[in-house]
Amino acid sequence: MMDAKKVTALLRSKGFKVTPQRLAIYNTLCNTKSHPTAEMIFNKLQPYYPTMSLATIYKTVDILREIGLVQVINIGEDCLRYDADTSLHPHIRCTVCNKVEDIEGFDFSPALDEVKRLTDYELNGQQFYFYGICPACAANAKKKEIVNG
């Protein structure tokens, strides 16, 4: 993740205006692991930028994606999520609470090699998504099971 000076320079070099709202949106994404939606970002920043619109969030994350500072995650919900960690890594979503987390240390090599072997494609991107029930939701389900008997 880049500091504000580097983000400012990158935005300018790509022909985009640098605004406090754009920097705040990028900073918000850099300082969370929750993979927020545009609405979540909007709600977090609204107290600090009361005149900022949801459209500003969407336009900014699209710009940040275009210049390689964020990745867009479409993990099977009705909305997109955003991640400032643009490194190759998979995500997992809890099908109960919808929490999205990174999966660290996943070895992509065998899967990528197999895709290349099966298709002869030159790969230029991929997304890996997994789904399950997070430990907290599983524990809550067990508690309810015990109580309800």
pLDDT digits (tens, 9 = 90+) for 24-43: 999 999 999 999 999 999 99
pLDDT in tens, 58-79: 999 999 999 999 999 998 888 8
d(CA 75, CA 36): 12
Average pLDDT, the chain: 93
Predicted local confidence at residue 59, as pLDDT? 97
CA atoms within 13 A on the CB side of 59: 11
pLDDT at 149 over 70: no
The CA-to-CA distance between both ends of the chain, in Å, stands at 49
pLDDT digit string (tens) for 78-109? 889 999 999 989 999 999 999 999 999 999 88
What pLDDT does residue 2 have?
Answer: 85
Quick one: pLDDT at residue 136? 96
| Reported pTM | 0.86
